[in-house]
């Protein structure tokens, strides 16, 4: 199984809603990532978890709250988002960063629209 599964595939939410994005992998990877991608732009790194601990937060606003409850699961909790947060949210996983040769496996993303 070399898949990273993201749910839901599409999400529409209002600015006062609370929602969560889910990411799951069963490859034994211990590094997991959240990226944000606006239309026609490259993915931008948001968070990195290594061994279920947050290791990188790229100065992301607190309305985005990541969680890694176990080695297979990564969540992104959303609250009080703005319309400009509408984007494709990508999850990725890799073996722990033993070196810069490790490759990332990406999910297909959640397309988020904030109204």
Return residues touching other proteins (CB under 8 A): 4, 31, 33, 42-45, 48, 50, 55-56, 90, 92, 97, 99-109
Query: What is the pairing mode between strands 110-114 and 10-13?
Result: parallel
- Choose between 20 and 57: whose C-beta lies nearer to other proteins: 57
Give least dist CB 106 to other proteins, A.
Answer: 3
Give 16 or 98: the residue with its C-beta nearer to other proteins: 98
Cα(99)–Cα(115) distance, integer angstroms? 41
> Closest separation between CB of residue 79 and other proteins, Å?
24
Closer to other proteins by Cβ: residue 15 or 56: 56
Sign of CA dihedral 20, 7, 88, 95: positive
Nearest approach in angstroms of CB 32 to other proteins is 10
Angstrom distances, CA of residue 58 to CA of 17, 28, 31, 106:
24, 25, 16, 19
For residues 33 and 64, which CB has a smaller minimum distance to other proteins in the complex?
Answer: 33
CA 44 to chain centre: 11
């Amino acid at each position: 199984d070399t898949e990273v599964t993201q749910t839901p595939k599409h999400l529409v939410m209002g600015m006062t809603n609370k929602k969560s994005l889910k990411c799951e992998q069963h490859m034994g990877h211990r590094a997991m990532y959240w990226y944000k991608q606006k239309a026609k732009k490259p993915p931008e790194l948001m968070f990195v978890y290594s061994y279920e601990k947050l290791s990188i937060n790229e100065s992301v606003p607190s309305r985005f709250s990541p969680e890694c409850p176990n080695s297979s699961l990564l969540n992104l909790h959303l609250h009080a988002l703005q319309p400009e947060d509408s984007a494709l949210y990508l999850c990725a996983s890799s073996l722990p960063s033993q070196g810069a040769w490790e490759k990332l496996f990406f999910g297909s993303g959640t397309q988020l629209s904030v109204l």
